[in-house]
């Protein structure tokens, strides 16, 4: 893992950060199956291998992301060799004593090197310091690399939303209780 430093984002950095490339490659997706009966409703997600690797574009534009993120409580930035290589944006859910990860990215050339893990662990530390008990991450069902990351860190599936994004991608929610 490269040596990285994680610190709060400054307002001057914000606009350039949110224009980072959020696209990702994936070989798998989580497919949703629903079963509706008179007295029960069931939803199941299962991993499906795609016929070929695909690149998935982010559901929000850089401008939409900037607007959303400027309302957040904090953003943490990861730096390596004085270059910004990733960030995570956090929004407190005050009534629930929880924090929601509303944006999270690592530069493509630095992915799979532990930076995402370090950012999520720093997000958990920040959340604990803020008196929160739980952290929630939202992931597109196609974002298999992110699903692998959060489940490896102990996050558990806790729900979904079919029309969360304008492009109708399903968002899958994962959470963990903070210790």
CATH number for the domain spanning 144: value is: 3.40.630.30
What pLDDT score does 96 carry? 83
Residue range of the domain that includes 22: 5-177
What pLDDT score does 1 carry? 66
Contact predicate 39/80, CB 8 Å: no
Residue 105: closest CA among 17, 16, 41, 30: 17
Q: Percent of the chain, pLDDT > 90?
A: 73
The answer, yes or no, to whether residue 150 has pLDDT greater than 90, is: yes
List residues bridging with 89 in a β-sheet. Answer: 75, 103
How confident is the model over 37-65, as a mean pLDDT?
Answer: 91
The answer, yes or no, to whether residue 178 has pLDDT greater than 90, is: yes
What pLDDT score does 62 carry? 82
Question: What are phi and psi for residue 121, nearest 5 degrees?
Answer: -65, -40
pTM of the entire predicted model? 0.91
How many domains is the chain partitioned into structurally? 1
b/e 106-133 (16+ beta carbons within 10 angstroms → b):
bbeebbebebbebbbebbbebbeeeebe
How confident is the model over 123-139, as a mean pLDDT?
Answer: 96
How confident is the model over 159-167, as a mean pLDDT?
Answer: 86
The answer, yes or no, to whether residue 31 has pLDDT greater than 80, is: yes
Strand ranges for 115-155 from DSSP E: 134-140
Count of other CB atoms within 10 angstroms of residue 23? 11
């Amino acid at each position: 893992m490269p040596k990285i430093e994680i610190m709060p984002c400054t307002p001057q950095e914000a606009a350039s950060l949110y224009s980072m490339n959020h696209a990702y490659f994936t070989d798998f997706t989580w497919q949703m199956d629903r079963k509706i009966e008179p007295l029960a409703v069931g939803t199941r997600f299962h991993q499906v291998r795609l016929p070929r690797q695909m690149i998935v574009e982010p559901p929000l534009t850089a401008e939409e992301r900037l607007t959303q993120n400027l309302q957040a409580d904090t953003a943490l930035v990861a730096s390596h060799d004085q270059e910004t290589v990733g960030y995570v944006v956090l929004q407190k859910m005050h009534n629930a004593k929880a924090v929601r990860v509303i944006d999270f990215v690592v530069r493509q050339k630095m992915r799979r090197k532990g930076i995402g893990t370090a950012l999520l662990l720093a997000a958990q530390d920040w959340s604990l310091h803020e008196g929160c008990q739980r952290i929630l991450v939202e992931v597109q069902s196609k974002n298999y690399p992110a699903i692998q990351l959060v489940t490896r860190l102990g996050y558990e599936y806790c729900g979904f939303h079919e029309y969360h994004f304008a492009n109708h991608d399903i968002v899958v929610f994962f959470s963990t209780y903070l210790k």
